[in-house]
């Protein structure tokens, strides 16, 4: 079974530029999550999708971050414009259905904003 | 507001000995707990979980203990092996949150020495 795919793996941008991350969850997984992991901290949920609908985006900085999951499969997370404090690893995870079930994580995208 | 805390950022243990990782939580609504393991440049992978109706769950060399009155859980690894060197995250969720949102601790870096 293929795991969660993410690209790019690494990205370096200057502040005020925009960036986009892509995630392809495990086939058949209805729930998709985007997490932000700042160095020395645990992953923090940014947004959660159930199929192609948003069920939790309470911690997403909506003035600069946006995400979509068209067709309920793969997803993109965008930052525009980026700030220095956005430097982090962005993790995508998926689970089979909603609720407390094991989440499968991708390898993440390490973003450095200079 | 850090609702899940791992107060030991690092732990060094000799191969063959026991590793004990601790985790504290503040939200009394949490009733399901998970441990994830993370190697460098990889996403976290699920290790073991426990529901609040139990006080112990065992899976091979890994055992998780839950003390609800103290709002404390621990992960025991016996015996520790070099391949166990990784960052371990404690995560918690509330079954009242039907979407399965996880709150993560900051992680504990475990180094197993020969």
B95 touches chain A (CB under 8 A): yes
Closest CA in chain B for residue A9: B41
Interatomic CA distance for residues A24 and B65, integer angstroms: 35
Tokens representing B13?
């243990």
A25 touches chain B (CB under 8 A): no
Q: What is the pLDDT of residue A2?
A: 80
Tell me the nearest-neighbour CA distance from B100 into chain A, angstroms: 4
Confidence of residue A99 (pLDDT cuts 50, 70, 90): low
Q: What is the pLDDT of residue A102?
A: 82
A-chain residues near B93 (CB < 8 A): 100
Q: What is the pLDDT of residue A98?
A: 64
Mean pLDDT of B2-13: 94
A95 touches chain B (CB under 8 A): yes
Interatomic CA distance for residues B12 and A103, integer angstroms: 28
Does residue A10 register a pLDDT over 90?
A: yes
Of B43, B95, B99, the CB nearest to A55: B99
Q: Do A105 and B44 touch (CB under 8 A)?
A: yes
Question: In the A/B pair of chains, how many CB contacts fall below 8 A?
Answer: 60
Give the residue from A12, A10, A27, A26 showing the smallest Cα distance to A92.
A26
Interatomic CA distance for residues B22 and B53, integer angstroms: 19
Q: What is the pLDDT of residue B54?
A: 95
CA angle B21, B79, B105 (to 5 degrees): 20
Q: What are phi and psi of B84, to 5 degrees?
A: -80, -5
Interatomic CA distance for residues B41 and A6, integer angstroms: 12
B33 touches chain A (CB under 8 A): no
Report whether B25 contacts B92 (CB < 8 A): yes
Mean pLDDT is highest, among A97-101, B30-34, B49-53, B75-79, for: B75-79
Q: Which residues contact A19 (CB under 8 A, 6 or more apart)?
A: A11, A13, A78, A79, A80, A82, A111
What is the rounded end-to-end Cα distance, in angstroms, of chain B?
A: 38
Report whether A113 contacts A16 (CB < 8 A): no
Burial A54-78, CB ≥16 within 10 A → b, else e = eebbeebeeeebbbebeeeeebebe
Q: pLDDT by residue (tens digit) across B70-104?
A: 999 999 999 999 999 999 999 999 877 767 789 99
Q: State chain B's mean pLDDT as an integer.
A: 94
Mean pLDDT is highest, among A69-73, A97-101, B61-65, for: B61-65
Report whether B112 contacts B105 (CB < 8 A): no
A-chain residues near B109 (CB < 8 A): none
Calculate what percentage of chain B has a pLDDT beyond 90: 88
B-chain residues near A109 (CB < 8 A): none
Does residue B2 register a pLDDT over 90?
A: no
C-beta neighbour count of B114 within 10 angstroms: 6
């Amino acid at each position: 079974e293929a795991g969660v795919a993410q690209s790019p793996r690494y990205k370096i941008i200057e502040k005020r530029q925009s960036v986009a991350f892509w995630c392809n969850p495990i086939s058949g997984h209805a729930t998709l999550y985007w997490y932000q992991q700042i160095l020395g901290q645990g992953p923090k949920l940014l947004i959660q999708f159930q199929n192609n609908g948003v069920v939790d985006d309470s911690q997403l900085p909506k003035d600069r971050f946006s995400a979509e999951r068209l067709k309920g499969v793969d997803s993109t997370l965008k930052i525009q414009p980026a700030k220095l404090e956005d430097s982090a690893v962005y993790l995508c995870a998926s689970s089979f259905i909603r609720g407390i079930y094991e989440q499968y994580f991708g390898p993440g995208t390490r973003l450095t904003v200079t | 507001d850090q609702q899940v805390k791992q107060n030991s950022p690092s732990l060094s243990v000799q191969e063959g000995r026991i590793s004990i990782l601790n985790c504290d939580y503040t939200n009394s609504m949490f009733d399901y707990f998970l441990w994830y393991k993370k190697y460098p440049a990889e996403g976290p992978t699920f290790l073991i979980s426990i529901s609040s109706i139990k006080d112990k769950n065992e899976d091979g060399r890994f055992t998780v203990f839950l003390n609800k009155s103290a709002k404390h859980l621990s992960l025991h690894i016996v015996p520790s092996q070099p391949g166990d060197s990784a960052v371990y995250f404690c995560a918690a969720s509330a079954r009242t949150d039907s979407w399965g949102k996880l709150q993560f601790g900051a992680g504990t870096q475990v180094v197993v020495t020969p």
